[in-house]
Amino acid sequence: MKLIKLVRGNQVVEFVVIVALALALAYAIQAVVVKPYRIPTQSMEPTLIPGQRVLVDRLGNDFFGPSIGDIVVFHPPVAAEGPGNGSCGAVQLVGAACSRPVDKEASVNYIKRVVAVGGDTIAIINGHVILNGKRQKEPFANFNGCATDPNCTYRTPIKVPAGYYYMMGDNRSDSEDSRFWGPVPRAWIIGEAFATYWPPDRIGFL
């Protein structure tokens, strides 16, 4: 009888230890390697829709910076939210988008696409990115509404500072992004979104 109680007691302890280790491992993976995020707005439509959930690689950003075309989660400058929303950290040239953010990082998370990196020049015409003088092929983007939206056109080229990344939503006429508050330094980037896992009909890699 005592032997049976002892065995059952050991099984309970073993089960508790296994559960604790599994929870610790899951927390470590989420904190360091992969983290889930929920899409809050329509700014990345049609690629990502509100309520959709993505997985973000946090570890890779420590070794490799994002590339043009990558979808990333990051902290925008504080000018992107609250009072002063949209304010630029530099004097804007006539017909130019914002070339530099304010110095302070916001605590909120944004998800956008990288459209230019440090050293590139960028202009925007009817929502289309003109990168280093060449119009980019962007089959993923939605340009509806850009024909009459002045925020879709910034013909004067600007240069992205070294170590910074220019972010834009795929829904070009309905996205608060680098056009208004400037590029994002690498230190503010959380990681690259590489897959979507909800809803079921949109599961796949990005």
Active site residues: 43
Total Cβ atoms within 10 A of residue 126: 13
First to last CA, the chain: 58
Strands (E), 50-188: 53-57, 71-74, 110-117, 121-125, 128-131, 134-135, 154-159, 164-168, 184-185
| Sequence-ordered alpha helix ranges (H) in the chain | 2-28, 178-181
Q: How far, in Å, CA of 141 to CA of 45, rounded?
A: 8
Q: Are strands 134-135 and 53-57 parallel, antiparallel or unpaired?
A: unpaired
Q: How far, in Å, CA of 59 to CA of 32, rounded?
A: 6
CA distances from 150 to 90, 91, 99, 134, 173 (A): 20, 19, 17, 21, 9
Burial level of 97, CB count in 10 A (0-12/13-18/19+)? Answer: buried
